[in-house]
Structure 1
Amino acid sequence: MLRWCVRPLERCFGRLGGGGDGLLWHLDLKPHASGDFSIAVVQANSSLEDQAQVLTSPSATYVGVYDGHGGPEASRFVNSHLFPHLHKFASEQGGLSVDVIKKAFNATEEEFLHLVKRSWPTQPQIASVGSCCLVGVITEDTIYVANLGDSRAVLGHRGVGGRPVAERLSSDHNVALEEVRREVAALHPDDSHIVVHTRGVWRIKGIIQVSRSIGDVYLKKPDFSRDPLFQQFVSPVPMKRPVISAEPSILKRKLKPHDLFMIFASDGLWEQLSDDTAVDIVFKNPRAGIAKRLVRAALNEAAKKREIRYSDIKRIEKGTRRHFHDDITVIVIYLNQHHQGMPSPSRSNDSSYDNTSSPVDIFSFNSDDAEEPLHPRK
């Protein structure tokens, strides 16, 4: 069986570097099965709602970015439960597949529902907590990307003339997009107010922008929304059936020689940078610290939009900082073994989930780490 090692990043790598950005934590570079990876996180909310993890094994690399909303409980839960479910179902079915990923997402959703039911009498507001969920799996010659919500995975590859090309690998489930609004409306033909424009943006039932998530139980189970105990914290939502779902969109794609790297990030990055801009930054800069460079580029853009200096925004404290930008989590996965066409000496020939006795580490950044900065800068 796998020797699971779930540890905060500080205990994986020692002290994480502070980048002079106040609430920024980063890992400059670390090897994985077929290349290197880099991580950076910056906190904006009073409690960091982003979670992230990278699992490295000899045969595959697993990446997770979980962007919570309404609180950190759902994203923390996904951070602890989704990868073990992937391992369990992959072991039972002889390897990774689209079906395995769907089962892992569904099991995580069902377990969180059970947690909500258990916590309900003393913590009814937990029914309004949810999380976007972005997962990537890179095997010897294939990538899988599964998504709920509006975190995003973008691949960078070398195009004509050696120029960088951005290829989006995930679907955004956000009603800011007309196609998503049409999708939601088609599922609710008897509800003319399923998506409304309020407070400057489109929202489902005037409440939430994402149409798929883990959690948000009160938008999936009408009984919770109608309960007087819950209505002490959240206004009742008139609905006859679920208005959002936990059904992930899943892409399976063969890796190609010109594929160079993948960027996995919460929407805090993509609110500030386009796919093309992010890929161009990674393409043109050194590997070490590349995730931190992307976060800083996003913070620069956030400062420009508010007509303040970058030096100002990085001094703003958490909580207040949310008025300027969201929590931002970025993981960059380099694919050098693939585009060089060279096998990694540490990889086995089996591209399925490694269920041997080989060591497997999960490098996990969670909001408990963020309560006390790992390497604060004055």
Structure 2
Amino acid sequence: MASSRFMKIVSPCWKSSAVADDDSHRSKDGSFRNGLLWYKDSGHHACGEFSMAVVQANNLLEDQSQIESGSLSSLDSGPQGTFVGIYDGHGGPETSRFLNDNLFHYLKKFTSEHHGMSTAVIKKAFLAAEEEFLKLVRKQWLTKPQIASVGSCCLAGIICNGTLYIANAGDSRVVLGRTNKATKEVDAIQLSTEHNASIESVREELRSLHPDDSQIVVLKHKVWRVKGLIQVPSTMFHLLP
């Protein structure tokens, strides 16, 4: 895509509300929408400033994102910090919306029970959210069968007590931008590793989990896919403190 066309498409992400187009509107949370563009200007959170921008691929937004700041526990006396969640939905918006509504709740619950933040707490929150969504699928799939084919990748970043925790399930990637003091340029630092069938270790794990299914991973059009359909395995977690 030509750079001029690209900038024309994404430039509203950096517009202030004062110069937004007539078809734009501001939400109660301070975010702004203009057609398929959504953005939220810089604001303060417990661990610094933040901003968000989303460019939809189509009219149905399958992806969700959230920033929560303050207590990371159900107890007011719990640890303070900032939680960022990015949910890359596929097949529909149901899973990403469920994560957006529930993952942080589980994180706070288990932080309270374990009296602090840890990689174990984050993994328990991921597993609890997954199990609860699977219950929803079992309950609804006879009347809403398409829900059984809906999924979402999940990235979570948590800053707590001076430590950055990164968790991901699926093939989204966390990249940290850090200013190089010598060159004044921004260096991109990869913080997480994708989970998809293009990675040999992931294919081997899927085969070991499904020894009776010769089609669990299939090379299709030179791309490895789970059941020949999708690159992302159903359940995998990778946690970095």
- TM-score higher than 0.5: yes
Of the candidates 35, 42, 50, which is equivalent to residue 55 of structure 2?
42
1:16 is matched with 32
Aligned residues: 207
Give 1:190 shift: 5.4
Deviation by residue 1:5-47 (Cα, 9 ceiling, x = unmatched): xxxx82111x6164xxx41111121111121111011112341
1:250 is matched with 239
Preserved CA contact (<8 Å) 2:166 2:240: yes
Instruction: Answer yes or no: is 1:33 the counterpart of 2:50.
Output: no
Preserved CA contact (<8 Å) 2:196 2:231: yes
Preserved CA contact (<8 Å) 2:90 2:151: yes
Deviation by residue 1:316-355 (Cα, 9 ceiling, x = unmatched): xxxxxxxxxxxxxxxxxxxxxxxxxxxxxxxxxxxxxxxx
Q: How does 1:180-219 map to 2 (within 5 A)?
A: 180-188=202-210, 191-199=213-221, 201-211=223-233
CA distance in 1, matches of 2:133, 2:215: 28
2:138 is matched with 117
Q: How does 1:250-269 map to 2 (within 5 A)?
A: 250-252=239-241
CA distance in 1, matches of 2:215, 2:131: 28
Deviation by residue 1:128-153 (Cα, 9 ceiling, x = unmatched): 11111111101241010111011221
Q: How does 1:338-377 map to 2 (within 5 A)?
A: none
CA distance in 1, matches of 2:48, 2:133: 34
Preserved CA contact (<8 Å) 2:36 2:58: no
CA distance in 2, matches of 1:121, 1:175: 29
Of the candidates 84, 95, 105, which is equivalent to residue 74 of structure 1?
95
Q: How does 1:219-368 map to 2 (within 5 A)?
A: 244-245=234-235, 247-252=236-241
2:178 is matched with 157
Unpaired segments of 5 or more residues in structure 1? 1-8, 212-243, 253-378
More divergent stretch after superposition (177-186 vs 87-96) = 177-186
Instruction: Answer yes or no: is 1:177 the counterpart of 2:199.
Output: yes
Preserved CA contact (<8 Å) 2:92 2:150: yes
Bigger relative contact order (CA 8 A; separation at least 6) = 1
**TM-score under structure 2 normalisation?**
0.78
The structure whose residues are more often strand, as a share, is 2
1:301 is matched with none
Give 1:179 shift: 4.3
CA distance in 2, matches of 1:139, 1:127: 35
Instruction: Answer yes or no: is 1:166 the counterpart of 2:184.
Output: no
**TM-score under structure 1 normalisation?**
0.51
Of the candidates 126, 132, 139, which is equivalent to residue 153 of structure 2?
132
Deviation by residue 1:187-232 (Cα, 9 ceiling, x = unmatched): 4555443321224522111011112xxxxxxxxxxxxxxxxxxxxx
CA distance in 1, matches of 2:198, 2:59: 25
Preserved CA contact (<8 Å) 2:117 2:160: no
What amino acid maps onto 1:63 in structure 2?
A: V
CA distance in 1, matches of 2:104, 2:61: 21
Q: Percent identity?
A: 54
Unpaired segments of 5 or more residues in structure 2? 1-25, 72-79
Give 1:165 shift: 2.7
CA distance in 1, matches of 2:36, 2:51: 17
Which secondary structure state, in structure 1, belongs to the residue aligned with residue 193 of structure 2?
coil
Which secondary structure state, in structure 2, belongs to the residue aligned with residue 11 of structure 1?
coil
What amino acid maps onto 1:198 in structure 2?
A: K
Deviation by residue 1:57-87 (Cα, 9 ceiling, x = unmatched): 1721100001111111111111111000000
What amino acid maps onto 1:142 in structure 2?
A: T
What amino acid maps onto 1:149 in structure 2?
A: G
Which secondary structure state, in structure 2, belongs to the residue aligned with residue 55 of structure 1?
strand
Give 1:127 shift: 1.2
